[in-house]
Structure 1
């Protein structure tokens, strides 16, 4: 079939070549070129974003992230475990030791104003135990043996209480020793 088409074109070539382009064809093409260039520039400009649009998008993203963060925080609070439901006696002990630890920390802060370096060392030790307590507390909700984890939390608080008591004792002895040295220097 292509052979027949070729033969037809060869036979009628003169009839195909009789049409010549018009003389003003190139001048019309040249006149349309600036208009096409202007359209292309407008299309490129339309693709760029205005500052107002970018700011609106940024504000929307920040708003969505903020709302998501609030939902996340709310879900974190609702996952807390009712200690009394696990073991009422352990829950009472946990509350008792937690309040003791808090009271001793407050007392330690008040006494430690005289020697901040010593307080910094003491608070570093307590921070380690406190991070262990917080880890136990976060594991409590997902633990298969919640009573055991609660007992470990209570034991951690007991140890914190003992350590804080020892630290308070050391600070009191240290401050007493300072006072005694001041009195001895005054007497001389």
Structure 2
């Protein structure tokens, strides 16, 4: 069959060559392409997602670590007078580390809690009142530490007080988060 097609084409070649495209066909195609490009240039471009390089992320992480280290060092320098001259590491190094960690966690959580004071001062006062009561107990234990015959037991009580403060702050922040989530859901449903 292909032999017959080739023979047909070779016998009728002149009839196939009599049709030629118009001279302005390429100019029309170029105009249409230019119009298409202009049309797409006028459309708003999609925003590309921002990505951060590994170097940038590492620099930010290093900066955060340095700032936290400086803050921790300053905190440790101010910690010794707060313990009435008693070095917690001399009593029990593990408890001393735990105490430092818990105090820093509590300070972070209290800062988060302070942010709601702008939006709901009454709730903040209620939550802050509970924490203030626990901190007054902690201060009493801290004052007792220097004169106590069983300093490790007082230190354990101080650590337990800090753990309870952390748990209460976690619960308070959780309540606030749940309240905000339900408020956002209600707002979305109303829209």
Under a length normalisation based on structure 2, what TM-score does the superposition of the two structures give? 0.55
Question: Which residue pairs with 2:178 in the alignment?
Answer: 173
Pick the aligned partner of 2:138 from 129, 133, 140.
133
Residue 114 (structure 1) shift: 1.7
Secondary structure of the corresponding residue to residue 81 of structure 1: coil
Q: CA deviation at 1:112?
A: 4.0
Alignment of 1:39-188 (within 5 A): 79-185=84-190, 187=191
1:113 deviation in Å? 2.5
**Structure with more of its chain in helix, by fraction:** 1
**Superposition misfits of 4+ residues, deviation over 3 angstroms:** 76-79
Cα RMSD after superposing both structures: 1.7
Count of residues in Structure 1 that have an aligned counterpart in Structure 2? 111
> TM-score, normalised on structure 1?
0.55
After TM superposition, give the deviation of residue 77 of structure 1 in Å: 6.8
Deviation of the 1:176 alpha carbon = 1.6
Cα distance in 2, alignment partners of residues 78 and 122 from structure 1: 26
CA separation in 2, counterparts of 1:111 and 1:141?
37
Change (3 A) 1:91 1:129: same
Rg (Cα) greater in structure: 1
Gaps of 5+ in 2: 1-80
The answer to whether the 8 Å contact 1:101/1:161 transfers is yes
